[in-house]
């Protein structure tokens, strides 16, 4: 029922009153559920958008059964073959402890492998397997298409640039 402005004269005010205590709910309390005090908050909208984008990402990558973090790890290994676990973990702000299970999964699926690092017997050198490299091509194509989707939603690359700039303004780590 969209506000029914026509019936306004039928009732005796209390619509625009600031805090009528005498209103006394007439029959069916016409309480519109107010959410503006929450939905108007930057952080709330930011979270909503982030969830929506990640959900769409998972839809696009469902055929690969990979999460955003998995894709990021594979992409970073592809761009930095032989890198250490800690390097990727730091770049993605993942605790190195939690990175272990992640890379274990990728390795178990035959996408990555750990070799012995040359100058440091503590660290492992990460590489994509041949299968991993081949998979990465399809992943990159999917990601590029998804990014194009996002850019289109935003209204073009200029809007995207504005958007990234605004995001970075909020993302600075100063408490």
Q: For binding to DNA (CB under 7 A), which residues are involved?
A: 67, 69, 84-86, 89, 93-100, 103-104, 114, 119-124
Q: Does 26 interact with a second copy (rule: CB under 8 A)?
A: no
Q: Which of 8, 17, 46, 131 binds a second copy (CB under 8 A)?
A: 46
Q: Which residues contact 16 (CB under 8 A, 6 or more apart)?
A: none
Site string for a second copy, 54-73 (x = CB under 8 A): x-xx-x--------x---x-
Q: Does 15 interact with a second copy (rule: CB under 8 A)?
A: no
Q: Which residues contact 127 (CB under 8 A, 6 or more apart)?
A: 77, 81, 82, 112, 113, 115
Residue 16 CB, nearest distance to DNA (Å)? 26
Residue 114 CB, nearest distance to DNA (Å)? 6
Chain centroid, CA 134 distance in Å: 26
Q: Which residues contact 122 (CB under 8 A, 6 or more apart)?
A: none
């Amino acid at each position: 029922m969209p506000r029914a402005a026509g019936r306004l004269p039928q009732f005796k005010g209390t619509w625009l009153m600031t805090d009528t205590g005498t209103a006394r709910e007439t029959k069916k309390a016409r309480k519109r559920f107010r959410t503006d005090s929450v939905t108007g908050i930057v952080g709330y909208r930011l979270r909503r958008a982030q969830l929506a984008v990640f959900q769409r990402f998972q839809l696009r990558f469902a055929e690969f059964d990979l999460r955003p973090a998995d894709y990021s790890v594979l992409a970073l290994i592809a761009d930095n073959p032989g890198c250490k676990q800690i390097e990727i973990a730091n770049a993605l702000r993942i605790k190195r402890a939690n990175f272990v299970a992640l890379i274990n999964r990728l390795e178990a699926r035959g996408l990555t492998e750990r070799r012995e690092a040359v100058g440091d017997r503590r660290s492992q050198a990460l590489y994509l397997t041949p299968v991993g490299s081949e998979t990465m091509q399809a992943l990159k194509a999917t990601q590029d298409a998804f990014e194009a989707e996002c850019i289109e939603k935003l209204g073009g690359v200029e809007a995207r640039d504005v958007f990234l700039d605004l995001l970075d303004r909020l993302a600075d780590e100063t408490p």
